Amino acid sequence: MSISEAVSTGLSRRIADTFIGQCNEQGKHEYVMERWAYVPGMLLMSVARAGMQHNEPEYLSFMQRHMDSFIGEDGSIRSYSLEEYNLDQINQGKNLFWLYRQTGEQRYAEAAHLLAAQLIGQPRTSEGGFWHKKIYPFQMWLDGLYMASPFLAEYGAVFGRPELIDEAARQLLLIERRTRDPRTGLFYHGWDESREQEWADSSTGLSAHFWSRAMGWYAMAAVDCLEHFPLTHPQRGTVMGIFQRMCGALVEVQDKESSLWYQVLDQAGRKGNYLEATGSCMFVYAMAKALRLRYLEPSFKAAMLSGYEGILKHLVTEDEQGVHLHQICHGAGLSKDRNGSYDYYISEEVVSDVPMGIAPLLLASLEVERYVAGQ
């Protein structure tokens, strides 16, 4: 499928329809309903964005119905615990802002206030960087930037708390300064200030490799935050410049033949490495949105469009059951049994059609369609 075919035939709508149909028929409804978590939250957000873009009330009601199963009349959140101080638990809260603006119901605002309270009290490094979780002391992961910073930025904009927009910018800048490799311009997955973790270099505190999805989380975080920064914000231009410099580094490691990105970004051709779907979709989403909003120079257009074409050609299939996405890393992290080595990253299960991959594919498709329509 070409980009023109994907855009003209409404691929993003078919992706959303496929997922909603699977929820109704194959048990993924239970997955979304099971607990408040970052992947279901991203799925619901992507379906809601499809609803807004395609003027499809069914998609928006799908998101609201599932969110309402978690939000109590008093704004409490089923299965959520503030005391975990887990950045992953913030991500689903991004759906609260649209619900609050549309309905005016105070319970959505109260739930957002609860999540913001977690972030205000989140444990931090000595410089003020958020720990990824309370159980991961003094550790900053790129993943956490997507979970928390866009929520903070939008919360600050919606509720008139500009100091929280400042905090979102601060987190983006702190982790970039700590994890960016000056030689390649790529970002390491995590940093341990204490230098205690088995995966952390005893001198730098850095993990050993550049994991594509980790950089995808950061790329999406940057563009989603910038959308809520006022034009006069003193860090707006800096964050934009850092994002463009990072995209330049990503273009350098984009596979020349497929235009996709590898699971371990700078290890093309190494045994076991593979072209991975989620990172590729996240980079295309971030670049397409940044090009549309002029955060990126037009020179990145070719890399973004060829990346999306690579996704359609090499990773996406379609049949009577709907749209499918392949070569998805099921999950990866950093801990005692996840040591951040090259062998670790390539050993994680590679799967098809899991929610972790479908949501970035839908987000990327929506943004490419918007960008192409605006040209």
Active site residues: 143
State the helix-helix crossing angle for 106-120 and 162-179, rounded to 10 degrees: 40
Contacting residues for 321 by C-beta, under 8 A, at least 6 apart: 18
Counting beta carbons within 10 angstroms of the beta carbon of residue 57, is it exposed (0 to 12), middle (13 to 18) or buried (19 or more)? exposed
Give the pair of three-digit tokens for residue 217.
């989380």
Backbone angles phi and psi of 328, in degrees to 5: -100, 125
Measured CA to CA, the distance from residue 328 to residue 11 in angstroms comes to 19
Joined tokens for residue 354: 């899991």
SS (H, E, C) the chain: CCHHHHHHCCHHHHHHHHHHHHHHHCCHHHHHHHCCCHHHHHHHHHHHHHHHHHCCHHHHHHHHHHHHCCECCCCCECCCCHHHCEHHHHHHHHHHHHHHHHHCCHHHHHHHHHHHHHHHCCCECCCCCECCECCCCCEEEHHHHHHHHHHHHHHHHHCCCHHHHHHHHHHHHHHHHHHECCCCCCECCEEECCCCCCCCCCCCCECCCCEHHHHHHHHHHHHHHHCCCCCCCCCHHHHHHHHHHHHHHHHHCCCCCCCCCECECCCCCCCCCCECHHHHHHHHHHHHHHHHCCCCCHHHHHHHHHHHHHHHHHCEEEECCEEEECCEECCCCCECCECCCHHHHHHCCEECCCHHHHHHHHHHHHHHHHHHHCC
